[in-house]
Structure 1
Amino acid sequence: MKIKPLPLLAVICMAAAAIGLLALIDPRSQPADFVRPGHMYPIMAKEGGVLRRAGHTEAAIDLARLAGLYPAGVLCEILGESGDRANREELIDLARHHRLEITTIEELIRHRRAREKLVYRQAECQLPTHYGPATCIYYGVKYESQEPFALVFGTPTTVAAPLVRLHSSCLTGDLLNSLRCDCGDQLRMALEMICQEGTGVLIYLPQEGRGIGLAHKIKAYSLQDKGMDTVEANQALGFKADMRDYGVGIQILKDLGLSKVRLLTNNPKKTNAFIYDGFDLEVVDQVPIVAPINEHNARYLATKREKLGHHLPGA
């Protein structure tokens, strides 16, 4: 892939942009120093970097920190010969041709995981449940106030690929048995399926309302009562359709000594979270967990299937 020469005007614009970028990362700069909107779009990386969220923003900050530099970076899409975003092979070819260094998010994750992790055990106990005896392990997470826990049934490390469920908290569904969603049913079904096998893990992640929090979830319910679907309601409140991420859950599974799992989910985003080789944790099977449909959750489930890509049966 070749780099095309730029016209003089483009070079001048890039030089001006570089001056603006240097001003943006200057600790002495104040918001009033800049005119908005502009041609650059500041974005914030999550604390914890690629171990918290495997994204380009976090990768840029991690690279700067690892190099001992100020934690800031510039993201730029590179286009291929077709005019579309360059794929990995094109980028590797470009780097080789121009003798540039290149790395991947997977490699960053692998590098950081060898030296650090975000989760740590705070407490654990034996917990008898209706589904069978379990070990409850309560975790803390660096850079976060919310605390997930793991329910471990049997000895999952003795199984080649135990059943695992990463379950995002849903107070209304899990505790109050709301019929508006399938969360409570999925929680109970997952526990039953794990215990039928005699061993497995359920990770309970504090990600209420697909990560928007309980108060905003209730507001989203109100908007749904007025005709919006679950995706439209979240977006109307200023959020993405799904704000969750699963890096913490994957780290907990690694802390428990697992390397291969069968994942109880209908959500491809959850399965895709495991593709980053740096976590060294493989999903060998995606096991469906389909809850009953009722008149209150039928539209919700249809939206998950049609707009979020969940693997659910049609009406």
Structure 2
Amino acid sequence: MRRPIERIAKERIVTRPTIARPDGRVASDRLTGYSSRNGSAKADQRGGKVTQFSSIPSAVEAIGRGEVVIVVDAEDRENEGDFICSAEKATTENVNFLIKGGGIPCLAILPDVCERLKLHPVVDQNTTPLGTAYVTPIDHRTSKTGITAEERARTIREAVSPSSAAADFVKPGHVLPLVAKEGGVLRRAGHTEASVDLARMAGLTPAGVLCEVLNERGERATRDELIAIAARHRLAIISIEELIAYRRLSEKLVQRVAEADLPTRFGPFRIAVYSVKYELQEPIVLVMGDPAASPSPPLVRMHSSCFTGDLIASLRCDCGDQLRMALERIGTEGQGVLVYLPQEGRGIGLTGKIRAYALQDDGLDTVEANHALGYKADMRDYGIGIQILKDLGLTRIRLLTNNRKKVDALFNARGFGLDVVDQIPLCPAPNAHNAQYLATKRAKLGHLLPESLEGLES
């Protein structure tokens, strides 16, 4: 029987140095390992403009110093930006700054704080579009009116203090608590969860203060206005999308739950199934040989599930062909890894993919069909796949893919100890049914595919 994967690549526990912050607390140097393609800022291409977002570590450090940051969510969600600071470091000054933001300052807390303070939902049935979990508004019992910035800051600090109790507060009051989901932005991609995550990542009590930013007309500030506000006040500005990506890379979210030997027509593999914290998915990995001990970087394929292509040999895509070609390449070399991720239809699910097929039958291409259904061209995320590679002990790999996005995702993981040293395309022969699909992937998604596809289009 082949050696279990955990014997092939034992999880390495690294003791990291620590960095003292100005307030005397200690932060892990894991934050300093993160880098985007532009160093401390992320280039965000929107409508021909290049806007600069801060790195996640810089925002975390700002939160740790008691500063305010701006956090924006997706344009297809609330499309808003919030001022956010930590609850533990709430002061008259930063709370007053949030009040001037124009929205309603709220206190984001976890369920255990809600239980300790005996706070209850403000309505029996929550009908808000995004299920924002408002609970009983409070004032600290020492407050006079409770409305001043100083009084609200005190209420916020006392509310998140472990020694506080329900009797320390009067209800209703002027601080409106919101209950964040356990698991933060990995469970719900909202500002409530983002504020809690940022405080926790800064080594503070996991609770935050947030307030939506309005412009001078009393409307929600646009992306451009938020960027200008951040520049004017010298604030870090980040997106929830980037916070999610950072957490998926920097935190250990996967756990191996089952494994066995798996003989295949391509050679003997060891198969393992993983569970993912906060998510109902079971990614799979196939390991041949001992890739972690290889003197040369092993072959790796990061494959997204495709029921139609992988299982029933659909001719509309090249997924099944790429899967088989990857396994053949690994089998020929005698070692390598294939990670199988449940990301059907470039992340839109089987139902969404079949609906997209119907739109393609009416003349749209694969990217246009996604957009018509309200999806991005590619919704996949490779953070969990990267975590699995790290769990296997890999540090340098050769990636089997035509997709530059995968290479970019793994390039950004270099700060976490994973480096792509080569990209090896997989180019199955096109057919009359998938030639237009492949041409669109080459033209619009940047895939490395042959130029001679159009002649095969049906």
Q: Is the 8 A contact 2:108 2:193 kept in 1?
A: no
Could you say which structure has the higher strand fraction? 2
SS at match of 1:228: coil
Q: Is the 8 A contact 1:50 1:109 kept in 2?
A: no
Q: Structure 2 matches for 1:32-181, cutoff 5 A? A: 62-66=197-201, 67-70=204-207, 109=246, 113=250, 116-159=251-294, 160-181=296-317
CA positional deviation for 1:101: 8.6
CA distance in 2 between partners of 1:17 and 1:243 (Å): 32
Say yes or no: does 1:197 pair with 2:281: no
Counterparts in 2 of 1:174 and 1:306: CA distance versus 1, 3 Å: same
Amino acid at match of 1:200: G
Q: Is the 8 A contact 1:140 1:147 kept in 2?
A: yes
Q: Is the 8 A contact 1:119 1:141 kept in 2?
A: yes
CA positional deviation for 1:312: 1.6
Structure 1 equivalent of residue 421 of structure 2: 284
CA distance in 2 between partners of 1:33 and 1:46 (Å): 16
Deviations, residues 26-45 of structure 1 (Å, cap 9, x unaligned): 975966699xxxxxxxxxx9
Q: Is the 8 A contact 1:165 1:190 kept in 2?
A: yes
CA distance in 1 between partners of 2:181 and 2:358 (Å): 29
Structure 1 equivalent of residue 361 of structure 2: 225
Which of 178, 203, 212 is matched with 2:348 structurally?
212
CA RMSD of aligned residues (A): 4.2
CA distance in 1 between partners of 2:306 and 2:129 (Å): 43
CA distance in 2 between partners of 1:309 and 1:260 (Å): 24
Amino acid at match of 1:302: A
CA positional deviation for 1:111: 12
CA positional deviation for 1:206: 0.4
CA positional deviation for 1:204: 0.3
CA distance in 2 between partners of 1:162 and 1:300 (Å): 30
CA positional deviation for 1:57: 10
SS at match of 1:134: strand
CA distance in 1 between partners of 2:325 and 2:392 (Å): 22
CA distance in 1 between partners of 2:358 and 2:284 (Å): 30
Asked which structure has the greater CA Rg, the reply is 2
Deviations, residues 111-140 of structure 1 (Å, cap 9, x unaligned): 984xx5110011100000000000001111
Counterparts in 2 of 1:33 and 1:254: CA distance versus 1, 3 Å: closer
Q: Is the 8 A contact 1:65 1:71 kept in 2?
A: no
Amino acid at match of 2:425: P
TM-score (norm 1): 0.74
Of all paired residues, the percent bearing the same amino acid is 58
CA positional deviation for 1:290: 1.2
Structure 1 equivalent of residue 318 of structure 2: 182
Structure 1 equivalent of residue 436 of structure 2: 299
CA positional deviation for 1:46: 10
Say yes or no: does 1:263 pair with 2:399: yes
Q: Is the 8 A contact 1:51 1:117 kept in 2?
A: no
Segments of structure 2 that go 5 or more residues without pairing to the other structure are 1-96, 110-118, 131-179, 214-220, 453-458
Query: Please, which moves more after superposition, 67-76 or 220-229?
Result: 67-76
Say yes or no: does 1:251 pair with 2:390: no
Counterparts in 2 of 1:48 and 1:248: CA distance versus 1, 3 Å: farther
Counterparts in 2 of 1:146 and 1:69: CA distance versus 1, 3 Å: closer
CA distance in 1 between partners of 2:374 and 2:129 (Å): 27
Say yes or no: does 1:17 pair with 2:154: no
Query: Please, which moves more after superposition, 63-72 or 201-210?
Result: 63-72
Counterparts in 2 of 1:50 and 1:165: CA distance versus 1, 3 Å: farther
CA distance in 2 between partners of 1:225 and 1:70 (Å): 49
Deviations, residues 164-189 of structure 1 (Å, cap 9, x unaligned): 00000001000100010010000000
Structure 2 equivalent of residue 235 of structure 1: 371
Counterparts in 2 of 1:186 and 1:112: CA distance versus 1, 3 Å: closer
CA distance in 2 between partners of 1:239 and 1:117 (Å): 28
Matched pairs, number = 280
Q: Is the 8 A contact 1:110 1:278 kept in 2?
A: no
TM-score (norm 2): 0.52
SS at match of 1:262: strand
Amino acid at match of 1:135: R
